[in-house]
Structure 1
Amino acid sequence: MSKLLDPKIMMAIKDLSLAAKTTIDGFMQGINKSAIKGPGMEFSQYRSYQPGDDLRLLDWKMFARSDRYYIRESEIETNITLRLLVDASASMDHQDGDFKKIDYARYLAASLAYLGNLQGDIIGLNVFREHEVIALPAKQDFQHLSRLFYQLEQITPAGKFTAADVYTPLYTGGGSSELTILISDLYQDTNEIFELLDVAGTMKHEVIVFHLMSRNELELDFQGYSNFEDLETGETIQVDQSAIRKAYMSKLQTYLEEVKERALDKRIFYRMLRTDQPLDTAIRDFLNQRKKLKV
């Protein structure tokens, strides 16, 4: 797998569009070429003719070679609508080493958007921050992709996650099925994030949640710090990390299991991602879920 999928190397590329292209090019070099297909009709396999099959699907060249009747099956690749939901609440400003959760989120979203555009998908972006939703309508062209990259570059985390009464009107009405991807650390004041996922679920969208966690919060390893501030409320507490680590790890594990179970109960694909790990896992998950979506 390309080293350019390493977040530290990827985030050294300041141009977001170049970083996304470099990431996807590196990813595609490391996987079976057949895993990524563009729009159109692609040959899949032959199977024996069965009574009732459409005779127009018979492969006469194969019959000439084998004197047997075969049906040529093809796989139809269809475009989908891909909607990226990015959490821009203040907790996404959490930092581990040289970069923040929001950095990982913007590069992940850019990479998925670039790959979706490459496959002919229609792509939209919603950024959630207290009291507002920045919405970029779903379109398919490189100009639109450039606007999406620009919006991702402008994200400045602030406040809490958008309240449900603000974003719910954006998701009312009909529309075709989408592949909805939420990139978030899932920190919420009440239940606003899972209410958003409920809305997407009722609209019959396929949903992926990429749950971002940093190494230092997963391991409670904040070297040299004893005072901790809640980025969204501003509250501070004093902590002896070594004294509470065992209890913290136990509660964290319980929390992660509950979040995963809650997502699975809603038929949401859930993946926890460490922000110091390469993006290939997330990209593979996107490709797998894309194949399942029926337009």
Structure 2
Amino acid sequence: MSKLLDPKILMAIKDLSLSAKMTIDGFMNGINKSTLKGAGLEFSQYRSYQPGDDLRALDWKMFARSDRYYIRESEVETNISVRILIDASASMNHNDGDFDKIDYVRYLGASLAYLANLQGDAIGLYVLKNNGIFSMTARQDYQHLARLFYQLEQIVPDGTFTQPVHYKELFAGTQKRELLIFLTDLYQKDDEITKLLDTLNSLRHEIVVFHVLSRNEFDLDFRGYSTFEDLETGETIQIDQEKAKQDYKSKLATYLAETRASLLDRRISYRTICTDEPLDEALRDFLKQRSKLRF
């Protein structure tokens, strides 16, 4: 694994676009590039014609030589739209001593966008907080990607997660399914995030949820602090960390298991990701989901 996938190193690079490029270059150099078959541009192999295949893909020279019908396949899939959804509610300001959740999400989102653009996919950005959504319609060109990086840099988490605001109209898209990547800490008061995911699911999109948590949330290690404040409501609570730690970890494990089961029941891909975790696993998950989409 490249050291450039270490989030501490990445976030020391202030230029988000440069960081994303270095991340993806390091990632691509470190993997065995599996061939993605589809209807793209780079020729890969022939296969026998099957009823229902696009006749435009028939290779007539092969037919002339063999008296059999063959289809030309390629290594690059048909382009799709990838929409990156960012939870920008105040809880994303949570800090584990090195950086905030939103910092990690910003760099992860930029890396995913760069990788998708490299594959020829159209990229869109949606930032959700308070009662609104900032949106950038999915497009595929370098200038659009540069604007997306700029908007990622401008995100300032605030308030609560947005309430439903024309979700269906905003995310209906084209007749084709799209890949939606949601970066969130899943902090919600009245199932507002669950309602969003149910709406997106009803539109038959492919959805990946990255549940972003910090290390001190996993371990209940807040360096002696015993007073905790809800970043979205302002409510405070005092606890004895040592006494509470075992019960906390048990309840957290139950919560994460229930969350995973709930989303998988909805056919939504889910994984937790910690803000000290290298980005390669998230990128692998993206490629795995990306390869499922066949149109």
TM-score by length of 1: 0.89
Where do residues 118-197 of structure 1 align in structure 2 (5 Å cutoff)?
118-165=118-165, 167-172=167-172, 175-197=175-197
Stretches of structure 2 that go unaligned for 5 or more consecutive residues are none
C-alpha change, 1:176 and 1:70, in structure 2 (3 Å) is closer
Aligned partner of 2:265 in structure 1 is: 265
Contact 2:89 2:158 in 1 (8 A): yes
Contact 1:39 1:119 in 2 (8 A): no
| Structure 2 Cα separation of the partners of residues 264 and 187 of structure 1 | 18
| Structure 2 Cα separation of the partners of residues 82 and 44 of structure 1 | 25
CA drift of 1:32 comes to 1.3
CA drift of 1:4 comes to 0.5
| Structure 2 Cα separation of the partners of residues 18 and 46 of structure 1 | 38
Contact 1:92 1:100 in 2 (8 A): yes
Stretches of structure 1 that go unaligned for 5 or more consecutive residues are none
CA drift of 1:98 comes to 1.4
Cα deviations across residues 2-47 of structure 1 (Å, max 9, x unaligned)?
A: 1000000000000000000010000000011345799824455566
| Structure 1 Cα separation of the partners of residues 36 and 47 of structure 2 | 23
Contact 2:36 2:291 in 1 (8 A): no
CA drift of 1:214 comes to 0.7
C-alpha change, 1:48 and 1:125, in structure 2 (3 Å) is closer
**1:17 matches 2:17:** yes
CA drift of 1:175 comes to 4.0
Aligned partner of 1:253 in structure 2 is: 253
Aligned partner of 1:230 in structure 2 is: 230
| Structure 1 Cα separation of the partners of residues 102 and 92 of structure 2 | 5
Cα deviations across residues 204-260 of structure 1 (Å, max 9, x unaligned)?
A: 100000000111010101112111101010011111000111111111011001110
| Structure 2 Cα separation of the partners of residues 81 and 105 of structure 1 | 20
Letter in 2 for 1:209: V
TM-score by length of 2: 0.89
**1:82 matches 2:82:** yes
Aligned partner of 2:117 in structure 1 is: 117
The count of aligned residue pairs is: 291
